[in-house]
């Protein structure tokens, strides 16, 4: 049972790292950015509920790693959202000429 928990935690870390790279380097449409913001919010609330239900600190030993990944994921969302709106406005200005 303990190995499956470690595997799920490791898989979550790998998934978050790939998602961060996709947000930073791939131009994403607005609907995917909205879904990514929703996923970030759901992960944040889930982590909060897990922390509230934990009896000891060692029950959730991946906490610093998850906090780091969620923070970097949120920053990547901010960068990607700004990039999306800047390119959309630039494209509309070019079409008006």
Predicted pLDDT at 18: 83
Confidence of residue 94 (pLDDT cuts 50, 70, 90): low
Predicted pLDDT at 67: 84
Give the Cα separation of 13 and 66 in Å (integer).
Answer: 7
User: Rounded mean pLDDT of 64-82?
Assistant: 83
User: Rounded mean pLDDT of 75-94?
Assistant: 73
pTM more than 0.75: no
- For the cut 80, the answer to whether the pLDDT of residue 58 exceeds it is no
Task: Give the domain ranges of the chain.
Answer: 2-96
b/e burial code for range 28-50 (CB count within 10 A of at least 16 → b)? beeeebeebeeebeebeeebeee
**pLDDT one-digit tens code per residue, 5-54:** 677 777 877 887 887 787 778 777 888 888 988 988 998 899 888 888 88
């Amino acid at each position: 049972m303990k190995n499956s928990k470690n595997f799920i935690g490791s898989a979550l870390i790998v998934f978050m790292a790939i998602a961060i790279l996709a947000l930073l380097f791939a131009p994403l449409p607005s609907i995917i950015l909205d879904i990514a913001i929703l996923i970030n919010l759901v992960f944040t609330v889930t982590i909060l509920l897990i922390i509230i239900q934990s009896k000891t600190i060692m029950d959730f030993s991946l906490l610093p790693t998850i906090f780091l990944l969620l923070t970097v994921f949120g920053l990547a969302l901010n960068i990607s959202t700004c990039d999306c709106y800047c390119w959309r406005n630039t494209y509309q200005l070019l079409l008006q000429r």
